[in-house]
Every structure is written in C-alpha cells, then in structure tokens.
Amino acid sequence: MDGKPDYSATRNADAYMVVRWLAFILANGQVYGLNHKITQESIRDAAKVLALYHQRHGEFELAVVDDDFRVDGASVGPPIPSTIALAHCLTSLNAPGLCFREGITAQELATFAEMLFLKEEQVQQANGLSGLLDAAGLTSIRTIGFSYQRVAEHETVVAKDGKDEEPATGLSDASAAAIRRFLDADTAAAASPADAAPLHQADLDDAKTLEDLARLTAPPEMDDTLTPETLAQQAIERLQRVSDKLRESPSNQTVKGRRNIRKLIKNIETDVTERLQRLAACRT
C-alpha cells in the first residue's frame, strides 16, 4: 500500500451514513409521524449528511439489492433492521435505485420523505416512485434502473440498465405524453405545470431519451404540409421551450449537461433541415 486513503472505502462509508439517516426518517416517521419535531430533525440531518457526500463525491447514486444498498456493486455497510425496512420500502415503490443530485434542499428531501408513506394503491396509480417524482416536479431526485448478476457467493455486479448497450427504455409513455402536451399547447396557460416536469427528470445521458426528446420536439410530420417558413418557426419555438426547461435542471447546468443539450439541439436541427429540403424539393 502507498499510504493513500482508499477512495472507494471512504465513499461507501459516507454512502452508508446517508442510508442510515434516510432509514432514520422512515423509522421516526412510522413512530412519531412526519410532522413531529424528531422526524423533521432527522430530515434536516439527512440533508446535511447528503450535502457532505455531494461535496466529497458528487452525485449520490444508490442501488437496492434485496436487503442491501450498493454503490458500484459494493455494499455500503451491513444491513440492519432500519436499513432493511428502507430497502423494502423502496422496493415497494418500484425504485431499484436512486440518484440524489447535488443541491437538493431539506424541503425537497421532506417532500421525498412523504412519498415513503404513501399507500400501495397511490403508488400504483402514479406508476411508482418515478411517476410520483414527476408529478411533484422533484428534479433533484430520480429513479435509476439497475441490473444485477451474482458472480460469487458474496459478490454482485451492479450496472445501470442499458449502460453498456443501447438503452431500451427512454422516456416513459406518461412522460412522453406530458411533454407532448407541454409542446403542443397553444399558450403557456393551456399546459399544466406538471406537463413540463418530465423534462427536469429526463436523463440526457440516455441515448434513447435524447432520441425521444428530439422526436417530440420536432414539429409533427403532418406539418410538412406547411410552408418552409412556418415549419422552421414552429421548430424554433418548440426547441426554445424544451431547451429552456432542460436548462432549469441543476444537473443540466454542468459542462456535461450543456453538451447533452447541444447534442439534442443538433439532432433536431438535422431532422428539421432534412424536412425543409423535402419541402423545397416538392415546391420546385
């Protein structure tokens, strides 16, 4: 050993501390109720521990594997009754993994805590935690799909679904429908604020999601019957609305996030340019 600290061990220890405090929120909420001062103090403490993790390691991504919590396949600490209860709770919410983005506030964490106590039918109606986060406009937290492969008795490989191959999910049907309503609205008042929420949740690192967003943002194919000028103007307006909303998300204000937005814009420009060329050819 060269005497340097083990980064992975430090990260996992910090991750375990976050898990413990999230478990405290669940346990105290079950005993005292969400509005009790003890539970509220747990939420504030969890926010502080999460902020410390972000300061040291960046975004907090966590996978739920049976009764265990893992980061990059490694267990963050021994399962205990409170963390096992949290794992079961997240599984019932259809949340195999979570990402807490940098900048999350104690109030946002409190909103998330409320979701841990919803009834099963409420969760099902919202299509799991992902749908609940979308509806609440909670952009600092998103769910992540993970796949697991047991390779030894005490070793599990954990990877994001689609990380090593072309993602197959992209936007959910509900998110796509909401974004379509947001874009097709004639005025800002015609669309619900919740219709723009999926844009904050969109994972721009997902190639399929970028493809879905490009398809939704470009004017519908039926608009090829319009003049080139009208088609171009519609494309500009729709792209402006999408890009403005994407830039509101803290995760998209990073260098990587801005690069992904530029990639989306380029894809849309390519699509619209090809359609304009077809229109021009039809009119010659």
**What is the length of the chain?**
284
pLDDT of residue 131: 82
What's the rounded Cα separation, in Å, for the pair 70 and 89? 16
pLDDT at 122: 79
106-134 average pLDDT score:
84
What is the per-residue pLDDT across 13-26, written as a single tens digit (0 to 9) for each? 999 999 999 999 99
Average pLDDT over residues 212-219: 84
What's the confidence (pLDDT) of residue 190? 59
- When pLDDT is cut at 50, 70 and 90, the band that residue 185 belongs to is low
Which segment of 55-59, 180-184, 251-255 scores lowest on mean pLDDT? 251-255
Is pLDDT at 117 greater than 50 in this prediction?
A: yes
Higher-confidence position of 96 and 106: 106
Helix 228-248 crosses helix 255-282 at what angle (to 10 degrees)? 170
* Neighbour-count burial of 281, counting CB atoms closer than 10 A to its CB (0-12 exposed, 13-18 middle, 19+ buried): exposed
pLDDT of 155 above 60: no
H-only helix segments in 127-172: 128-136
Rounded distance, CA 23 to CA 98, Å?
Answer: 14
Neighbours of 67 (CB within 10 A): 15
> 149 has which bridge partners?
157
Please check the confidence at residue 279 and state whether its pLDDT lies above 80: no
Q: Which amino acid is at 224?
A: D
First CA to last CA across the chain, in angstroms? 74
Q: Average pLDDT for residues 250-255, to the nearest whole number? A: 74
Q: What is the Cα–Cα distance from 247 to 224, expressed in whole angstroms?
A: 29
For residue 250, give the DSSP letter: G
* Mean of all residue pLDDT scores within the chain: 79
Confidence (pLDDT) at 244: 85
Give the sign of the dihedral formed by CA 235, CA 240, CA 246, CA 252: positive
pLDDT category, 260, cuts 50, 70, 90? confident
Question: What pLDDT score does 29 carry?
Answer: 93
Q: Residue 49 has what pLDDT?
A: 94
What are the pLDDT digits (tens) for 161-178? 543 333 345 777 778 888
